[in-house]
Amino acid sequence: MTDRNQGDANAASRRAIIGGVGGGLMAAPALLGAMPASAQQSGQQANQRANQRSSSGSGGAPSLEDPRQAYPRPPFPRQEQEWPGLASRMQPRPDHGEDSYRGSGKLTGRRALITGGDSGIGRAAAIAYAREGADVAINYLEAEESDAREVVELIRQAGRKAVAIPGNIQEEAFCRQLVDRARQELGGLDILVNNAGRQTAQPSIGEISTEQFDNTFKANIYALFWITKAALPHMPAGSTIINTASVVAFDPPKMLLDYSMTKSAIITFTQALAKQVAEQGIRVNAVAPGPYWTPLQPSGGQPTDALTEFGSQVPLGRPGQPAEIAPVYVMLASGEYSFASGGVFGSTGGTAGP
């Protein structure tokens, strides 16, 4: 799609490029176009299965479900959004675990900062962390305020403190301010999730402008470096840092050249930093998702024509839903996984990865 805000030919992104504190937005209208009957049926079935999962576990036979049918499958309705995109406008709407995630106290008393926490994987992690007992600060773009409000309310419904911090993580000064405000309002910081990123699909290197290249690296690499550098002096032994990489670091698609470069760099950063901070008792890991159904995709991360079949290429035949990866972020943040550091953990739908 065309990034009308930036004027780039095909610019798009996800979480964290520009921002600043501002007023809230009204909920965006639904996209044009009807949802295919297959997607509607899959969504209804997914809701039914979520209810079954939440009510099971009281005894009897274990609840099993076919992972191929657990959530909506392509084809999806044709859709596109202006950057940065909202989860509330996607068809079908992503499942972040709003109705299904049940905590068990794994993160009681912990304090987490999550970039890109308004939607997608960051939102799923924020919901799960709160329901596991953590207080949570989220960073997001001003344009994503309506999605962020929903996350804040869900955190508060879980009985935990929510801190909303909109702003531009492409600016080093703001990254320092973000960390300072999060730790002050949370009363400390012991979980950092570097999740925000930018993805722009381009057919060839000739279509990647210097501006796009800079924006991708500023959002995905510079911000991660600045935020982590600012946070580490305040993180006690037992803390954990989790970086969101991608399966494209292992199998880069031709249309995501600059994005794939940054995701490879995130893995190297994770592995080297884990060695540096081990002597401080801090763990560092990365998660490498496969195709996940998030606003990253319809806001330019995928060609519009290809989005209707998004996820169909993986062995399970569908994209992942953010709710399906949240337990990985909980596991890596939990002290129960205390020997894991310097690792890369995949959730790829069967595609080769970490």
CA pair distance 223, 194, nearest whole angstrom: 9
Q: Among the options 71, 101, 129, 259, which is catalytic?
A: 259
129 is catalytic: no
**Burial of residue 4 (number of CB atoms within 10 Å: 0-12, 13-18, 19+):** exposed
Contact between residue 31 and residue 328 where contact means Cβ atoms under 8 Å apart: no
Q: Which residues form the catalytic set?
A: 259
